[in-house]
């Protein structure tokens, strides 16, 4: 986005109240764990700036156009955060908790999870081996979609690989 001119900045300032109105009208639950109200306001202000930059004279009322652009910007951000949360559903924290109920942090400290991963990975082949590679990438913060792009497959393939790797880990932990 290019910087706003003085006239464009004034137009943004004149219409800042529109952001609160859009949030009130269109975002009924903003505590999705990702964004709070202030975050949504910032996203809305970005939408307002975008509306000022893309508005064309003779298009109609600016407030109507800006309302739609702000709403779409908010919806896109909320949709992205929801999609990202769904992709991270195979977060390493969910991969395997020990029978003692220790948290992932507790397991990592004692190295139990890493030892189990290394043992399982050494004996894995094919799709299961890819699952262990995916687990390592998930632990580094990559999403299933990003891992899928790296391997040239869809995100649901990555999820299936991780499921196979989890199954092998679970089989190793039972006597």
pLDDT band at 99 (very low <50, low <70, confident <90, very high): very low
Mean pLDDT of the 57-75 span: 90
pLDDT band at 73 (very low <50, low <70, confident <90, very high): very high
Please indicate whether residue 34 or residue 56 has the higher confidence score (pLDDT).
56
Residues 6 or more apart whose Cβ sits within 8 Å of residue 103:
93, 97
Which of 16-25, 81-90, 103-112 is the most confident on average?
16-25
* DSSP annotation string for 52-111: HHH--TTSS-HHHHHHHHHHHHHHHHHHHHHHHHHHGGG-HHHH---TT---HHHHHHHT
Residue 97 has pLDDT above 50, yes or no: no
Residue 130 has pLDDT above 50, yes or no: yes
Residue 109 has pLDDT above 50, yes or no: no
141: number of Cβ within 10 Å: 10
Residue 105 has pLDDT above 80, yes or no: no
Q: Domains plus CATH for the chain?
A: 6-88 (1.10.1740.10), 91-173 (no CATH)
pLDDT band at 106 (very low <50, low <70, confident <90, very high): low
pLDDT band at 63 (very low <50, low <70, confident <90, very high): very high
The half-sphere exposure of 29 on its side-chain side, counting CA atoms within 13 A, is: 4
Report the distance separating Cα 112 and Cα 102, nearest Å: 10
Mean pLDDT of the 71-84 span: 81
Please indicate whether residue 23 or residue 57 has the higher confidence score (pLDDT).
23
Helix crossing, 112-123 with 155-173: angle to 10°?
110
Residues 6 or more apart whose Cβ sits within 8 Å of residue 143:
84, 87, 88, 155
pLDDT (0 to 100) of residue 66: 93
Arithmetic mean of pLDDT over the chain: 77
């Amino acid at each position: 986005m290019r910087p706003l001119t003085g006239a464009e900045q004034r137009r943004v300032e004149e219409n800042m109240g529109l952001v609160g109105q859009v949030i009130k009208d269109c975002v009924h639950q903003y505590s999705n764990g990702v964004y709070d109200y202030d975050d949504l306001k910032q996203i809305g202000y970005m939408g307002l700036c975008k509306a000022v930059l893309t508005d064309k004279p003779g298009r109609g009322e600016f407030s109507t156009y800006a309302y739609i652009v702000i709403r779409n910007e908010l919806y896109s951000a909320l949709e992205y955060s929801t999609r990202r949360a769904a992709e991270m559903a195979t977060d390493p924290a969910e991969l395997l908790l020990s029978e003692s109920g220790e948290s992932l942090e507790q397991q990592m400290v004692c190295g139990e999870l890493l030892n189990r991963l290394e043992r399982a990975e050494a004996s894995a082949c094919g799709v299961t081996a890819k699952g262990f590679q995916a687990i390592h990438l998930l632990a580094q913060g990559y999403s299933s979609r990003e891992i899928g792009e790296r391997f040239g497959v869809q995100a649901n393939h990555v999820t299936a690989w991780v499921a196979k790797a989890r199954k092998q880990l679970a089989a190793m932990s039972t006597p």
